[in-house]
Amino acid sequence: MSLIKKFLAIFAAVAFVAGITLGASYIFLYNNKKAIKSEQQVKEEILPKVEEVYLIAVGDISYSRGVERIVKEQNDINYPFIKIGDYLRSADIVFGNLETTIMSGREITDREMVFRSNPGTEQALKNAGISVVSLANNHTPNFGEQGLKDTFSYLTQAGIKYVGAGENEQEANQPVYIEKNGIKFAFLAYNDADVVPVSYEAGKTRAGTAFMRKDKMANAVKEAKQNADFVIVSMHSGNEYVAKPNNSQTNFAHAAIDAGAELVIGHHPHVVQTMEKYKDKYIFYSLGNFVFDEMWVKETLNELAVKIYFTKSGVGKISFLPIVTENISQPTEAHGTLAEKILQRLKYPYNELN
């Protein structure tokens, strides 16, 4: 090896150890051949790779009533997600509350309090990047066992996982597991008996939803924790259109964290409610609506999506996307004063999380 080559080899070794950047690249010599590697490539080789997962959580989703009519008028099943789809697809996992049956049937008129969405809804959810939904709510069972079973079937065909409901009590109360980038998540979802009829609870041989029974939930969380890195609990509870959680919400959420849950996500009030940090874990009592047609209540048009960054050690970062509903059915990023107004509903120093 010539004196110059020896000098270059020594210099390259020193540069590698010291992290010296040569222009935009690092220089290495091996087998008497020169190879150029980018700074990013070198960093990836030197530093241990940190596995990470981005989870987005959104609020209530229904393709019924006004949303159904808009979709028909536009002749585009994906219309509600046009302005928000790229954001959703930026995550590894997207979780929301599907508050409607998916089955064939009659049109649902305004002000009716039973929801049914046409087959094809599941494909729109899939196209938007939604990967797992809670069915533990007061509208998915509106059309009885057959409606639930049809919903299970359509979601399964689309490759969307569901939790909080099943063909029997055991299925409704079991977790759903999703693994991404080497990190495994368990999802559990529950329905508050205060907001639904007793018949909506799954039985030994009857399809239905999982109810918010703290002892049963705590056991399920502890068991899921043995098989997953993180357990995420969803609850459908609270007073509609009220800015603060009630005792049922707080007691259940605290019990979930006590049992080992990493995160609690709430739905049902249709408006954004407060956020809490409890025992270093986060609780979102209500994210409000997401795709919904409640145009007659102004506060329901202002919503929130949450993007949560996970590593193996836990939640590393949380960011928020304030949302406003446009065109009856389209969640759209909110800006300026409106965005601040939505974030202030959390009653939490959200800037510390970004």
Mean pLDDT, range 268-286, rounded to an integer: 97
**Domain boundary assignment for the chain:** 3-46, 52-353
What token pair was written down for 327?
């065109």
What token pair was written down for 19?
């992290």
Mean pLDDT, range 50-63, rounded to an integer: 95
Predicted TM-score (pTM) of this structure:
0.86
How high is the pLDDT of residue 297? 82
Mean pLDDT, range 22-29, rounded to an integer: 30
pLDDT surpassing 80 at residue 43: no
Q: Nearest to residue 287, comparing CAs of 329, 231, 233, 343?
A: 343
Task: Give 3-state DSSP helix, strand, coil % of the chain, rounded to 5.
Answer: 30, 30, 35
Determine contact, residues 55/95, Cβ cutoff 8 Å.
Answer: yes
pLDDT surpassing 70 at residue 23: no
Longest dimension (CA), the chain: 86
> What average pLDDT does the chain have?
89
Burial 133-158 (b: 16+ CB within 10 A, else e): bbbbbbbbbbbeeebbbbbbebbeeb
What token pair was written down for 3?
């004196």
The CATH code for residues 52-353 is 3.60.21.10
3-class secondary-structure state, position 334: coil
In this structure, the strands spanning 263-267 and 230-236 are parallel
| CA–CA separation, 276 and 219 (whole Å) | 23
Q: What is the pLDDT of residues 93-134, one digit of tens each?
A: 999 999 999 999 999 998 899 999 999 999 999 999 999 999
What token pair was written down for 324?
């406003």
Residue, of 193 and 349, whose pLDDT is higher: 193
pLDDT surpassing 50 at residue 225: yes
Q: Nearest to residue 238, comparing CAs of 252, 220, 227?
A: 252
pLDDT surpassing 90 at residue 7: no
3-class secondary-structure state, position 176: strand
